Structure 1
Amino acid sequence: MRLLDGVSSALRLSVDNGRLRSEIERTLAHVRESRQRIVEAGDAARRRIERDLHDGAQQQLVSLAMRLRRTSDQARDRGMPAIADEVDAEILLLNAALKELRELAQGLHPSLLAQGGLSLALPELAGRCSVPTEVRVDVAGRLPELVEATAYFVVAEALANVDKHAGATRVWIDASSDGGELRLTVRDNGAGGARLDAGTGIVGVLDRVEAVGGTLELVSESGHGTTITVRLPLVDGVDGAPPTLG
């Protein structure tokens, strides 16, 4: 009788454990879906802001610069060089503001990423790094938008950390896809010693990578540089559909 009671208790415990495991798995799936929706919404908002800046404020500033240029030419033609010089000085200030606005818009959602994907965007991003950077992109065609945006964010943050903290003289970026995932590596020959718990921007990178079902590995021994390896699935782990922006 005791044996039967023991078997019965074990069966009930197994059923309860199975039910609890299923509930936990469903909860985790909901959390992953929620995190991905948040990332998608953020990227969609950045794209809308970028379009608004490009189609609104930038176009107005360009139009104003053209009108000021005509005013300067007219003042010079009418023998008023002092006024023309003053207007020219204002045009320079306006052009500087326009340049800053364009850089801001590009930082929100890079136009090259939207136009040509990682093959165009990553080399351009590397060209802005103060440390000489070698880029290899072996990606067939375009990837899902959310994957491309996440990969770009990873590289941008990694290069910013190199500029600020690494003391490196070289950086290597490698991006490749095998049909099922994108593998992205950013490696430098700097001082190393980076940690995920150091409170730097790499924590935000980890959050974003995990939000789309990816993984991040950080190897950073002191004196031996830093290597960040990211793997991003090209299909969503919940429903099998490609990750896309909302």
Structure 2
Amino acid sequence: MKVRRPRARITHDRFARAVRAIVEPLRRRVTSAEWEPESDEPEGPQGEVGGEDAFESLLAALEFCQIQVRNLADEQVAVRRMAMLAAQEAPPEKIFRAVSREIGELLGTDYVVINRYEPDDTTASVGHWSRPSSPDVMPPLAGHWPIENGSATEIVARTGEPARIADYTHAETEMGEWARERGLRSVVACPVMVKGRVWGMIASLSTEAQPEDTEARMLQLGVFASAAIDNAEIGAELHASRARVIAASDATRRRIERNLHDGVQQRLISLGLQLRTAEACLEPGQDVLRNQLARTTQGLTDVLEDLREISRGLHPASLSRGGLRPALKSLARRFAIPVELNVSIDGRLPEPIEVAVYYIVSEALTNVLRHAHANSVRVDLSIDRGAVRVSVYDDGIGGTELGGGSGLIGLKDRTEALGGTFQLESPPGEGTSLLLKIPLPD
């Protein structure tokens, strides 16, 4: 049986060498004085391209094809990178930055900017890229620009088609003046379509005139860029939705805790005082009634303590009054297993982060008590590179997984809803370590 060898991958350099290997011998033969045409056909009319010129044209055409093949291959690699980034559910700002870079490097332009159309008839810059050798003149991210008549921004928004401003020399728009002051000559803009609407635009800005095929190339790349941006928008909307759900849940917990404290707890305390007053007013010899009142008062005290415990679980008052340090200390004191608590944070954190960290530590300790069979727990809390770092380690049996009723899925969801990261390490027999990082707002 004959085995077919796999075909070698043809690179651009091999392609060029193959083209020259075919053309060069033919050109030498054509230009040789000893070569005589075998055909008896008459020469072409005056002005027709001769043999040497014909082969030169053929070589130029083949080299042009080589450039086109290289461009297509580079575009496919860029598309694959954008698709991989979108599939990894990268944050929107990372996707915007990557899309800008990919398009800028493929086009060989000076600058690329991605603008999103806003409801107030402005555009917001959400991502941009600059050629490394070019001055950094890009506007700050989240900066807003008006949509002015005749600008590339307005043309793309109105038509959903590419737009070109070939020369900013006499432009009177605010964007035109900004570009002219920075030495920019031309812009080519392409729409970004998300869910069938013009979401925004990608613009290539250059200090020189841009090639005629820039619009076509941007449209081809724009399809994949739009898909990546669409995915980023969906992820951002989901992230915001999860954050709103958690914030609403925390607000409900606080409201219930206040209602219990200001309503039911106060009435139970008042009732307990009345029972003690009634007990003190009993005449001598009423021991049976005295014992009944004492048991009732003690039962009421136990109910009140249970209610306070429930209130602390809903939203501890110490967290609202003093922040994480006293709230976590109180939590550690009540825990059935010794807890080594290290809090290296001074002052207060934003309320959503304080609430999230408290419940994360509380649920992690509960998980240790239920599943880990541990003898001790260590909790570390610090600020690291603009993020709150929470570490919970126990010396239990390990082997913990996210699923299986461990309760860790909820911790992961709460962490990621605030833009954080969640890491679990739990080798069997070596304990469990949780590491969470939640970014602080700028």
Normalization by structure 2: what TM-score? 0.51
Separation (CA, whole Å) in 1 of partners of 2:403 and 2:292: 53
- Is 1:127 aligned to residue 339 of structure 2? no
- Is 1:143 aligned to residue 357 of structure 2? no
The structure that has the greater radius of gyration is 2
197-206 or 38-47, larger mean C-alpha shift: 197-206
Change (3 A) 1:161 1:153: same
Q: Partner of 1:94 in structure 2? A: 300
Separation (CA, whole Å) in 1 of partners of 2:284 and 2:431: 63
- Unpaired runs of 5+ residues, structure 2, are 1-60, 73-212
- Is 1:229 aligned to residue 435 of structure 2? yes
Tell me which protein shows more helix as a share of its residues: 1
- Is 1:216 aligned to residue 425 of structure 2? no
Separation (CA, whole Å) in 2 of partners of 1:115 and 1:151: 16
Q: Secondary structure at the match of 1:124?
A: helix
- Is 1:70 aligned to residue 277 of structure 2? yes
Separation (CA, whole Å) in 2 of partners of 1:91 and 1:31: 51
- Residue of 44, 48, 51 corresponding to 2:251: 44
Separation (CA, whole Å) in 2 of partners of 1:214 and 1:18: 26
Q: Secondary structure at the match of 2:281?
A: helix
Structure 1 residue 180: Cα displacement: 1.5
- Unpaired runs of 5+ residues, structure 1, are 241-246
Separation (CA, whole Å) in 2 of partners of 1:198 and 1:66: 47
- Is 1:182 aligned to residue 423 of structure 2? no
- Residue of 100, 104, 115 corresponding to 2:310: 104
Structure 1 residue 198: Cα displacement: 2.6
Structure 1 residue 10: Cα displacement: 6.0
Separation (CA, whole Å) in 1 of partners of 2:308 and 2:218: 65
Change (3 A) 1:191 1:83: same
Higher relative contact order (CA 8 A, sep 6+): 1
Q: Secondary structure at the match of 1:177?
A: strand
Normalization by structure 1: what TM-score? 0.89
Separation (CA, whole Å) in 2 of partners of 1:95 and 1:206: 37
- Over the matched positions of the two proteins, sequence identity in percent amounts to 39
Change (3 A) 1:172 1:116: same
- Is 1:14 aligned to residue 221 of structure 2? yes
| Contact 2:371–2:406 (CA under 8 A) maintained in structure 1 | no
Structure 1 residue 21: Cα displacement: 1.4
- Is 1:196 aligned to residue 378 of structure 2? no
Separation (CA, whole Å) in 1 of partners of 2:366 and 2:341: 16
Q: Secondary structure at the match of 2:389?
A: strand
Separation (CA, whole Å) in 2 of partners of 1:99 and 1:117: 23
Aligned length: 235
Q: Secondary structure at the match of 1:154?
A: helix
Separation (CA, whole Å) in 1 of partners of 2:400 and 2:353: 25
Q: Secondary structure at the match of 1:35?
A: helix
**Segments of 4+ moved more than 4 angstroms:** 1-11
Separation (CA, whole Å) in 2 of partners of 1:114 and 1:178: 24
Separation (CA, whole Å) in 1 of partners of 2:424 and 2:277: 55
Structure 1 residue 85: Cα displacement: 1.4
Q: Partner of 1:114 in structure 2? A: 320
